[in-house]
Amino acid sequence: MLINDLSLFVRVADCGSIAGAAVELDISAAAASAGLKRLEKQLDAVLFIRTTRSLRLTAQGERYLIHCREALASLLLGEQALASEKGTISGELTVSVSSDFGRNVLLPWLDGFLNDYPNLSIKLDIGDNLSHFLHDKIDVALRYGQPPDSNQVAFTICNTRRILCASPGYIAQHGMPETLAQLSQHNCLIFKLDQRDHDLWSFNRDQQQYKVRVSGNRSSNDAEITRRWAVAGQGIVFKVALDVADDLKTGKLVPILTEYIGESVALNLICPGREHVTPVMLLLRDKLRQHCQQLLL
């Protein structure tokens, strides 16, 4: 498969016409049309619906375009790595990240990332509400779960789960719950997002699903606050394992009712559209995947 044909495919998708892409690539319209036909033949797929007045992507073309952009961006990144030292990676990246993961996990990773690429600058936007890419001028966002907009592109960084945990001090004072029903006798720390209390906690055990409504005297719209309350011995918290990995390793928090498996959660790196997938973003994605894999070992 020719790289030039992949680049042509992306340009045609962006321009909305074969002739427009041909002008940008300084080739003839006939050569551009031949390149597309060659790519479709190799893929055994129809990438565009062509009429005398319009050209639009098929469903297969839409899906392939995402991977094609990523592959071309990755190749460009490889060329940059071969052609020059790390320090030549430059530019500015605005990253939106949730409060807990941003403060407790991401910050030291970003320090190392910027040390490796001193000509790169990062603006960090911390908050648990999903930022508006255009309004807030966000390049990429790190969030748990799938993006609400199907036009956005999400790269999975890692898969993890929510776990019940509390401090040793809290357990010593209030006892260790032995069943999910006993959570009603404990002070549970509630995370509030979009004016809604997330007080219905879901678990699986032996292929059965369990949901428990919990309550407590503390709730916050900042996930980091609920973690701090838990470390301080104020109650039981239901957290993404990634966010409390260090607390669990150091013994500040201990897992509870481990026979019940908390709901699965994916950490995704999200950008507003296919055209925003850049080499720098893919570089950050790969670094985050490495760090998360090490942290969850």
For residue 241, list its beta bridge partners: none
pLDDT at 3: 85
pLDDT at 134 over 70: no
Which DSSP helix (H) or strand (E) runs through 190? strand 189-193
Q: What is the pLDDT of residue 162?
A: 94
For the stretch 204-222, pLDDT in tens is 999 899 999 999 999 998 9
Q: What is the mean pLDDT of the chain?
A: 87
Residue 40 amino acid letter:
E
Average pLDDT over residues 65-72: 86
Q: What is the mean pLDDT of residues 121-136?
A: 77
As a whole number, mean pLDDT of residues 124-146 equals: 79
The average pLDDT across 146-167 equals: 86
Strands, sheet with 261-262, edge to edge from the N-terminal-most edge strand: 208-213, 200-205, 261-262
Instruction: Give the residues across from 295 on adjacent strands.
Output: none
User: Which residues are paired to 247 by β-bridges?
Assistant: none
What DSSP state is assigned to residue 216? -
* 107-124: average pLDDT: 89
pLDDT in tens, 220-275: 989 999 999 999 999 999 999 999 999 999 999 999 999 999 989 899 998 887 76
pTM over 0.75? The answer is no
Mean pLDDT of 163-171: 97
Q: How confident is the model at residue 70 (pLDDT cuts 50, 70, 90)?
A: confident
- pLDDT at 87 (0 to 100): 47
Cβ atoms of residues 268 and 144 within 8 Å: yes
d(CA 271, CA 9): 21
85 CB burial (10 A radius; 0-12, 13-18, 19+): exposed
pLDDT above 70 (res 155): yes
pLDDT at 189: 97
Judged against a pLDDT cut of 90, whether residue 293 lies above it is answered with: no
CA angle centred on 253, ends 250 and 257, rounded to 5°: 130
pLDDT at 79: 66
Q: In 3-152, at which residue ranges do the beta strands (DSSP E only) sit?
A: 48-50, 55-57, 91-97, 120-126, 140-144
Are 260 and 205 a contacting pair, CB within 8 Å?
yes
* % of the chain surpassing 70 pLDDT: 92
